[in-house]
Amino acid sequence: AQTVTQSQPEMSVQEAETVTLSCTYDTSESDYYLFWYKQPPSRQMILVIRQEAYKQQNATENRFSVNFQKAAKSFSLKISDSQLGDAAMYFCADKGGSQGNLIFGKGTKLSVKP
């Protein structure tokens, strides 16, 4: 069965600093996609960044970037120049090419200190 593991239930970062959230996954699919979603308190989940497994280049979206290590099945999220608005639950998710659904980790609660 596919699993996604986020080993950090909570993380804290100082405003303007950099933080890295960890994620490992286990899939038997050869074609798959990885995602980081952000869920602010009482607000809907939004996509932060996505990575296609066949692409070697790490995805980047403004202050958000990933470190995709395919052999190690690791997919960490780096947030640079952290802002107060980055405070939220962050979920790592995996989707196999032959599957319809996302498999989510348990999430990491990120706090940003002013």
Q: Tell me the C-alpha distance between 76 and 68, whole Å.
A: 7
Q: How far is the CB of 53 from another protein (least distance, A)?
A: 11
Q: Tell me the C-alpha distance between 18 and 32, whole Å.
A: 28
Q: How far is the CB of 95 from another protein (least distance, A)?
A: 8
Residues 38-54 as b/e (b if ≥16 CB within 10 A, e otherwise) read: beeeeeeeeebbebebe
- Interface with another protein (CB under 8 A): 4, 33, 35, 37, 43-47, 50, 52, 91, 93, 95, 97, 99-107
Q: How far is the CB of 77 from another protein (least distance, A)?
A: 15
Report phi then psi at 84, rounded to 5: -55, -35
Residue closer to another protein (CB basis): 16 or 28: 28
Q: How far is the CB of 57 from another protein (least distance, A)?
A: 17
Residue closer to another protein (CB basis): 12 or 101: 101
